[in-house]
Structure 1
Amino acid sequence: MMSECTSSALFFPGAEEPVQFQCPVQETGLTTSEIEELLSLLQEGNSNSNSGSPNSGSEGSNRAIYSVDERQKRRKTSNRESARRSRWRKKRHLEDLTEEASRLRMENRELKNRLGLVAQKFHVTRRENERLESESFALWARLLDLNRVLVAMQMQQSQY
């Protein structure tokens, strides 16, 4: 797109007179008024940076270059990207929690199985212990009976 090109003047600090600009490239697709608007925005950015404003630097110049609509579009795009990353992190976190829950369920199942085996061994051991205690009492009773018989026999032999 060819457009008419006029010269524009910008006053830069430290320069004694305004700097004249001619349209540098005709194939940019920008109209003369758009180029003049960009140049005026650049000039405003330079005057703001010279006044010591807190928005000087690249942030201030970026604000001067982008229109309100462009800034809104960029902010929307940035917000969408941020939301997409947030959803991805949330999804990943949910997957991690699901994996951990699955792992913990499996570990819980294994612990319950081990507890069941230990409880079974405990009951077997307890029954065996009860049987041995009963046998021990029976043996003690028999031993006492044998001891009485022995004492009685010794008393009989000592009488003769």
Structure 2
Amino acid sequence: MAMFLSEAPVQFQFPLVEATFTRDEIHELLSFVHSESPVNSESPINSTSGSETGRTVYSVNERKRRRMVSNRESARRSRLRKKMHLENVTNEVDRLKSENRELKNRLCLFSHQCQIVQRETNRLQTESFLLWQKLSGLCQILVDMNFQ
């Protein structure tokens, strides 16, 4: 029993579940499993009622202490999850800001290229209009020459 009461938490891994137990949690679990008297006889009290013979019952103070330890551990895990979530969200924000900056740069480049193409289109349309006017004038001269 002494090998389970080391100070470091023990990790058990199951196919889909990972659990970490403290020394006190292991002690409590073992006290439910074993019907013999517990290792620490100061805190638990053996029940002597007929149907619960051999089952360990903890004092109110011991239950409060265990609940407090359990709550602290739960709060620690919750803070760790919150910290990891915040880091993930911060990383995602940074990635999205970078992507947004890149997209804005590409949009600016395409907009500039579009303006260049639009100016060239306008220039070509004007040139085409002038050439059509010249061609029309030349056609008119030919028509006038043929009628003379």
TM-score, normalised to structure 2, is 0.67
Amino acid aligned to 2:89 = L
Q: Which runs of 4+ in 1 moved over 6 A?
A: none
Aligned partner of 2:89 among 79, 94, 97? 97
SS of 1:43's equivalent in the other structure is coil
Answer 1 or 2: which has greater helix percent: 1
- 1:48 positional shift: 4.3
Separation in 1, partners of 2:47, 2:135: 116
- 1:93 positional shift: 0.4
Answer 1 or 2: which has greater strand percent: 2
Distance 1:98 1:29, change over 3 A: closer
Q: Which runs of 5+ in 1 are unaligned?
A: 1-27, 51-60
Deviations 1:12-41 (A, max 9, x none): xxxxxxxxxxxxxxxx896xxx6xx94xx3
- 1:52-91 correspondence to structure 2 within 5 Å: 61-62=55-56, 64=57, 66-91=58-83
Q: Which runs of 5+ in 2 are unaligned?
A: 1-38
Structure 2 match to 1:55: none
Separation in 2, partners of 1:126, 1:29: 87
- Which has the higher Rg, Structure 1 or Structure 2? 1
CA RMSD of aligned residues (A): 2.4
Larger RCO (alpha carbons 8 Å, 6+ apart)? 1
Structure 1 match to 2:134: 142
- 1:42 positional shift: 3.0
